[in-house]
Amino acid sequence: MDHQTRPLGLAEAADLLGVDPSTLRAQVHRGRLHAFKVGRDWLVTGEEIAQYRREVQGQRASRKKR
């Protein structure tokens, strides 16, 4: 099973996105990244990671145009 089909913990997702896990944790609490809790762990789907990546890249592109 790869990261596209199985949920990932925030640390693993952060590695894929190249950010610190605390960044993703903050985004979950702000409602910008949809995650679900299993026990003490927050998990995100591969699709949610892809969506977050698109949003972040879109924000960076709009900042460069300014």
What number is the average pLDDT over the span 57-66? Answer: 69
In a domain, 2, yes or no: no
Q: Give the pLDDT score at 1.
A: 45
Structure confidence by residue, pLDDT tens digits, 23-36: 999 999 999 999 99
In a domain, 60, yes or no: yes
Q: List the CATH number of the domain containing 39.
A: 1.10.1660
Rounded to an integer, what distance in angstroms lies between the CA atom of residue 44 and that of residue 39? 14
pLDDT(43) > 50: yes
In a domain, 55, yes or no: yes
- Spell out the residues 6+ positions from residue 38 whose beta carbon is closer than 8 angstroms to its own: 7
Range of the domain at 34: 8-65
pLDDT(65) > 70: no
Number of domains composing the chain:
1
Structure confidence by residue, pLDDT tens digits, 1-26: 455 578 999 999 999 999 999 999 99
DSSP secondary structure, 21-64, as one string: HHHHHHHHHHTSS--EEETTEEEE-HHHHHHHHHHHHHHHHHHH
Q: What is the pTM of this model?
A: 0.77
In a domain, 53, yes or no: yes
